[in-house]
């Protein structure tokens, strides 16, 4: 890769579709749960967690998450 992250060419998004730069292989489809803070929050098994950023305090929510989509982060972030 010579220091470059491979990406797919952009394509038109479908209604209510969210995309991001993957940090692991695979594709997930499912209902999303948009959260602005972790305190008092929960997600149901199979939901996709959508938030601005995470820190280690979010770890318990990852157990039920089918996927995580962050506004801020990168390919070396641990979620």
Q: What pLDDT does 1 receive?
A: 54
Look at the block and give the residue holding tokens 């770890």.
Answer: 59
Q: What pLDDT does 17 receive?
A: 79
Angle among Cα 49, 21, 41 to the nearest 5 degrees reads 15
Q: What pLDDT does 2 receive?
A: 74
Summarised one tens digit per residue, pLDDT across range 17-60 is 777 777 778 888 999 999 999 999 999 999 999 999 888 899 99
* pLDDT bucket at 61, cuts 50 / 70 / 90: very high
Q: What pLDDT does 8 receive?
A: 73
Reply yes or no on whether 73 is catalytic.
no
Catalytic residue among 25, 63, 78, 79: 78
CA atoms lying within 13 Å on the CB side of residue 70: 17
């Amino acid at each position: 890769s010579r220091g470059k992250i491979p990406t797919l060419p952009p394509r038109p998004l479908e209604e209510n579709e969210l995309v991001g730069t993957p940090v692991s292989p695979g594709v997930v489809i499912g209902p999303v749960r948009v959260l602005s803070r972790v305190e008092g929050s929960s997600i149901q098994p199979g939901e996709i967690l959508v938030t601005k950023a995470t820190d280690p305090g979010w770890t318990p929510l990852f157990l039920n998450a089918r996927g995580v989509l962050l506004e801020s982060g990168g390919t070396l972030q641990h979620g």
